Amino acid sequence: MSLINFWLDASLLVTIGFIGWVSVVMRVVFPAPTHSEGWTLWGMSFDRWHDLQFGSICFCALVILLHIMLHWNWVCNVIAAQVLRLKSRPDDGMQTVYGVATMIGFLGLILAGLIAAVLTVKSP
């Protein structure tokens, strides 16, 4: 398990570093997106760099989700013992229920924000 955690954490480090590097390239090398038409770096336009950035962020989110899933038992134990000060820890079944409920709630918040953005965007 330690080897899996090592490679998971190493991939998180590389992914976050790559996202940061791509973001700096997009901000420093290219002009503002509205003026970047025709500009390319290593054969990729600003839009392709933007797609690369978004894909990297999605991959990073997936790896973070996997990281949290592998450490969910620890997360539940810390919340039970340190935050809620419970005497007994939740069993594995309840931890799974808490995890699924947390995931549904988190995804619901993201969806609500996306819906709010779609409904309130103003076109020129």
Higher pLDDT, 49 or 87: 49
What is the bridge-based pairing of β-strands 40-41 and 44-45?
A: antiparallel
Domain ranges within the chain, ordered by starting residue: 2-70
Higher pLDDT, 46 or 77: 46
Tell which residue, 18, 108, 25, 27, has the closest CA to residue 55: 18
Q: What is the largest CA-CA distance in the chain?
A: 63
CA 58 remoteness from chain centre: 6
- The pLDDT score that the predictor gives to residue 98 is 86
Q: Is the pTM of this model over 0.75?
A: yes
Q: What are phi and psi of 24, to 5 degrees?
A: -65, -40
